[in-house]
């Protein structure tokens, strides 16, 4: 059981970090604070930074953490890492839903009961011009998990602003 609990955060990081350096691009420029606030119905203060070579922009609401990422794509290696991460989550008992809309891929991960403390994840990512942009929302409770249909329009806006 402890091994499974230690694996979930690692898998989410694997899915989040299956990209390489992004140069000087700014993840916070992909969505405006007003767009994020409108989508989540609450003001979300966003702060830029980086996770290694991945540019990030993050914020919190009372019920969730929001993370926007921008990085150079590793091409097939990124897709293979994401697929392996999704399969690992399924093997751990998580319910995983994946939907593709042209260049946008969205997923939800609903953990098994014994792993709910790690959150309920929804992510939409887009590959464009050698870059990967993603918006990820991790809710604290199942009732607050963001549906793909709500996150997809933000990914579409991000796509239009990507390098």
Residues in contact with 145: Cβ distance below 8 Å, sequence separation at least 6, in sequence order = 108, 110, 120, 121, 122, 139
pTM for the predicted model, two decimal places: 0.81
Domain extent, residue 94, equals 2-161
Whether pLDDT at 6 is above 50: no
The mean per-residue pLDDT over the stretch 4-14 comes to 41
**CATH no. for residue 14?**
3.40.1000
Contact call for residues 160 and 40 (beta carbons, < 8 A): no
Q: What is the pLDDT of residues 51-86, one digit of tens each?
A: 888 999 999 999 999 999 999 887 666 667 777 888
- How far apart are the C-alpha atoms of 47 and 51, rounded to whole Å? 13
Q: What is the pLDDT of residues 98-154, one digit of tens each?
A: 999 999 999 999 999 999 999 999 999 998 988 999 999 999 999 999 999 999 999
Domain count of the fold of the chain = 1
- Structure-model confidence comparison of residues 97 and 53, the more confident one: 97
């Amino acid at each position: 059981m402890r091994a499974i609990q230690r694996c979930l955060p690692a898998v989410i990081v694997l899915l989040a970090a299956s990209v390489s350096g992004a140069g000087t691009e700014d993840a916070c420029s992909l969505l405006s604070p007003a767009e994020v606030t409108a989508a989540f119905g609450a003001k979300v203060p966003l702060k830029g930074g980086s996770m290694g070579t991945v540019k990030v922009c993050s914020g919190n609401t009372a019920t969730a953490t929001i993370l926007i990422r921008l990085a150079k794509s590793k091409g097939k290696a990124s897709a293979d890492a994401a697929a392996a991460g999704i399969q690992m989550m399924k093997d751990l008992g998580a319910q995983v839903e994946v939907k593709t809309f042209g260049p946008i891929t969205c997923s939800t991960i609903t953990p098994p009961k014994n792993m709910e403390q790690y959150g309920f994840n929804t992510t939409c990512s887009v590959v464009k011009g050698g870059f990967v942009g993603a918006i990820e929302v991790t809710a604290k409770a199942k009732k607050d998990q963001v549906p793909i249909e709500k996150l997809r329009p933000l990914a579409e806006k991000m796509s239009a602003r990507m390098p």
